[in-house]
Amino acid sequence: MLLKILRCFTRALNGLEEWTLVFVLLTLAFLTAIQVFCRYVLGFSFTWMEELARYVGVFVTFLGAALGVKYGVHFSMDLLYERVTNDRFRHALRAVVHVLSALLLIVIGWYGWVQAEKLFKFGALTSVLQVRKFWFYVPIPLFSFLMAWRFFHLAKKHLASFVRGEPYKPIVID
C-alpha cells in the first residue's frame, strides 16, 4: 500500500516538475524577448525584468539539474566504468558514486537552507522587486535535496542489480 502511494506521488511529482520547467522556461524566454525588444527598439528597459530573469535562471538551473538526475543525462567520466569488465563491480562502483553525489548534494542543500533561513530571519528584500529574497533561495535546498533523493534511489537500484548479478546497463529513474 505504501509503495503504491509512493509510486503515485513520484509520478505526480515528475509531471509537476516537467510542466513547471516548461512553463518557467517559456516565461523566461518571453520576458527576455520583451526586454531585448524594449531596450534595442524602444530605447528603454525594465529593471525588474533583469532581476526576475536572474532569479528565475537559478530556479531553472536547479530544477533542470534535478530532472537531469532523473533521466541520467548529466555528463560523467565513464572511462573507469568502460575499463572494468566485471558487471557486479561496475554496479557497485556506480552505487558508491551515486551515494557520494547524494551526500554532496545534502551538504549543498543544508547550506542553501541555512542561507535561506538567514535571509528569512533578517527580512532581506530584492533591490528592485522588493520581494523577500528568501523565496528566491528556497529552490537551492529544495532541488538539492530532491537530487540527493534521486541519487540514493539510483544507488539502491544499482545495489539491487549488483546483488542479483544483472548485466551492467545505465539505470534511470522511472
Predicted local distance difference test score (pLDDT) of residue 106: 98
- What is the tens place of the pLDDT at every residue in 113-137? 999 999 999 999 999 989 999 999 9
Q: Is 173's pLDDT higher than 80?
A: no
pTM for the model stands at 0.85
Cα-based distances in Å from 132 to 20, 50, 110, 122, 165: 22, 17, 20, 10, 52
C-alpha to C-alpha distance for 17 and 123, rounded to whole angstroms: 28
Q: Is 102's pLDDT higher than 90?
A: yes
Instruction: Collapse the DSSP code of 34 into the 3-class scheme (helix H, G, I; strand E, B; otherwise coil) and give the result.
Output: helix
What does pLDDT average to over the chain? 89
Taking residues 26-33, what's their average pLDDT? Answer: 90
C-alpha to C-alpha distance for 68 and 172, rounded to whole angstroms: 10
Res. 145 pLDDT band, cuts 50 70 90: very high
Taking residues 101-118, what's their average pLDDT? Answer: 97
C-alpha to C-alpha distance for 171 and 152, rounded to whole angstroms: 12
- What is the tens place of the pLDDT at every residue in 58-96? 999 999 999 999 888 887 777 777 777 788 888 888 899
**Does 139 or 50 have the greater pLDDT score?**
139
For residue 103, how many C-alpha atoms fall within 13 Å in the half-sphere facing its CB? Answer: 7
Find, among 171, 6, 167, 7, the residue nearest to 95 by Cα: 171
Predicted local distance difference test score (pLDDT) of residue 174: 65
Taking residues 140-163, what's their average pLDDT? Answer: 92
